[in-house]
Amino acid sequence: MPRLLRIACASVLAVLVSAASSFALQITGLRNPAGFLVDAATDTYYISNQNGGPNDHDNNGFISKVNSAGKVVQLKFIEGGQNGVTLDSPKGLALVGKTLYVSDINRVRAFELPSGRPVAGVDLSGFPVDFLTGLATDGRGLLYIADSGADTIYKADLRDAGHPVVLVKTKELAGPYGLAVHPSTGVLIAVSWNTGKILEISASGIVKVLFSNSLFNSHFGNLMGVDFDAYGNMYVSDFSQGKIIRISPQLRIQTIAEFLTTPAGLAIDRKHHVILVPYLSGDVAEINGLGRDGK
């Protein structure tokens, strides 16, 4: 279990977004929000709430449903211990068709939308699962699952009964946390908790280091989230350094927000060109306009 995730941070939430940003909205009432998901088809956002420690099997985690205007439609849309739901400490979120997949410590649970009814998830019982974090999908039925504790990324083809396989297992992943699929190229990107790496994973599981820290160039701390906007810019959340970083297709690195309280699994609404950031220990999330700087 990553040590920093057990530390209660008391810093004041302060967002310094680009001057071109058009608006900012704050979502309150959350409990240790860890992940954000955009459902572009319905203009709906989902937020995973750990509601306790990241490894607590307490069945009180929940998923919040929010509209694209930032209004909470239902704070506990899916709630552990209610309506046959088991949900301990949800983190990563992914949407495949009308099924919402959720990483929950050592399981990938699934829920039918729009009802929120629990359905069969991804069976990882045949693997030595340690600590599941990020999820991502290619939009065509492939689901990628990060196991930060075991330095593993799984792949499940949900068109083929969803039987998972190990895509890659190597210490080079250095605690893979957030996952994203590039919306144009389909390439899988992983960000590392342990060493602040940004990695590209090929379809055959070959790992390519895109960015890493060095003695003279240390950009990143403990990375949790990653996503892309419609223009191919990559956005990364740095939990320990309290930053959101944008990396252009030309590999220009720019800090667009800092002094944040534990930014976790961010997401980009490419339709509305906004960034969605949950603050794990702040019990809030924010929606910020990205303006025109990313074009």
* pLDDT, one tens digit for every residue, the chain (295 residues): 443 333 333 233 333 343 334 457 999 999 999 999 999 999 999 999 999 999 999 999 999 999 999 999 999 999 999 999 999 999 999 999 999 999 999 999 999 999 999 999 999 999 999 999 999 999 889 999 999 999 999 999 998 777 899 999 999 999 999 999 999 899 999 999 999 999 999 999 999 999 887 666 667 899 999 999 999 999 999 999 999 999 999 989 999 999 999 999 999 999 999 999 999 999 999 999 987 655 5
Alpha-helical runs (H) found in 193-247 = none
CA gap 252, 214 in Å, rounded:
17
CA gap 165, 154 in Å, rounded:
6
CB 213 within 8 A of CB 192: no
CB 267 within 8 A of CB 227: yes
Phi then psi dihedrals of residue 111, to 5 deg: -140, 135
- Please report where in the chains the tokens 């306790």 appear, as a residue: 52
Cα maximum dimension of the chain = 53
CB 225 within 8 A of CB 279: no
Distances (CA, A) of 82 to 59, 98, 105, 281: 9, 21, 19, 25
Whose CA is closest to 189, among 201, 197, 177?
A: 201
Q: In which domain, by residue range, is 169 found?
A: 3-289
* SS3 at position 243: strand
Count of alpha carbons within 13 Å of 37, Cβ hemisphere only? 27
Give the predicted TM-score (pTM) of the model. Answer: 0.90
pLDDT at 20: 38
Asked if residue 295 is part of any domain, the answer here is no
CB 95 within 8 A of CB 37: yes
Asked if residue 98 is part of any domain, the answer here is yes
Which CATH number belongs to the domain containing residue 258 in this structure?
2.120.10.30
CA gap 233, 273 in Å, rounded:
11
CB 270 within 8 A of CB 229: yes
* SS3 at position 145: strand
Whose CA is closest to 95, among 143, 53, 52, 127?
A: 143
Q: For 167-213, how does the pLDDT look when each residue is reduced to its tens digit (9 = 90+)?
A: 999 999 999 999 999 998 999 999 999 999 999 999 999 999 998 87
pLDDT at 251: 87
Tokens of 288: 């910020």
* SS3 at position 50: coil
Q: For 232-265, how does the pLDDT look when each residue is reduced to its tens digit (9 = 90+)?
A: 999 999 999 999 999 999 989 999 999 999 999 9
Specify the long-range contacts of residues 155-160, CB closer than 8 Å, at least 24 apart: 156/108, 156/122, 158/96, 158/99
Overall domain count for the chain? 1
Asked if residue 90 is part of any domain, the answer here is yes
* SS3 at position 164: strand
Asked if residue 191 is part of any domain, the answer here is yes
Count of alpha carbons within 13 Å of 128, Cβ hemisphere only? 5
Asked if residue 294 is part of any domain, the answer here is no
